[in-house]
Structure 1
Amino acid sequence: MNQQFDLQHRYYIAAFPQTDFLIIEKEGVRIGRLYIDLSADIWHIIDVGLLPEWRNRGIGLEMLNEIKAAAITRESLGIILHVDKANGRAQKLYQASGFEVIDATETHTRMQWLSRQVLPKTVDGRSGVN
């Protein structure tokens, strides 16, 4: 398991050099990890995972709400992520947290949450943010 983590960690850091790697803790116990890129106007959750014994306790929803609150505070336009189509629980969690499907491939669904309403393009082709 450690070798798999090491390979995946090196890949994420190489493929997404702006990525922050965070350990998720609850009551002083390490329960998961988060890779998130905060460098663009729309943040990108690259990977998130909780240890199996910590799933289905509302922690994922709590974490997403904290990330969304930080996005609003730091004036990010929103958050995007990709989720494996086979991971129905994660998709339901993201939808419950306000994420919407914006694209899909054979294997993954791309979802986004907007921190504020993005207005449609104006007549002159510019878009606005409300």
Structure 2
Amino acid sequence: MDEALLQPLLDMQFEAQRQSYLQAYPAARFDIIEVDGVAAGRHIVAQAGDALHLVDIALLPAWCGQGIGSTQLRALQWEAAGAGLPLRLQCSTE
């Protein structure tokens, strides 16, 4: 697809996803995952009800397979445990 058409489509899709997350989790944190000061991905986390929810996590392809996602999950497990909450996530096959 032509870049001039692709970028607005991607921007629209990103904004729709962001709005959907904010509607479901108004107090969500949108965090950038950095490795040595370089953006490697992002995660979205929300404390809702009686749990800490990992709403979404994504790594850029160049950073996959290096244990970064596992490290993020462990950090969120510690955060949840420190708050006396379970960590919850929902997996989608789409």
Give the TM-score band, short-chain normalised: 0.7 to 0.9
Compare the two structures and name the one with the higher strand fraction: 1
Compare the two structures and name the one with the higher helix fraction: 2
Which structure 2 residue ranges, 5 or more long, are not aligned?
1-9
Is the counterpart of residue 53 in structure 1 residue 48 in structure 2? Answer: no
Matches within 5 A, 1:3-82: 3-76=12-85, 78-82=86-90
- Distance in 2 between the 1:12 and 1:49 partners? 14
With the length of structure 1 as denominator, give the TM-score of the two structures. Answer: 0.59
The alignment covers a number of residue pairs equal to 85
State the structure with bigger RCO (CA 8 A, min sep 6), 1 or 2: 2
- Distance in 2 between the 1:38 and 1:15 partners? 11
> Identity over aligned residues, as a percent?
32
Please say which structure displays the higher CA radius of gyration: 1
**Displaced runs of 4 or more, over 2 A:** 1-4
Which structure 1 residue ranges, 5 or more long, are not aligned?
87-130
- Distance in 2 between the 1:44 and 1:70 partners? 11
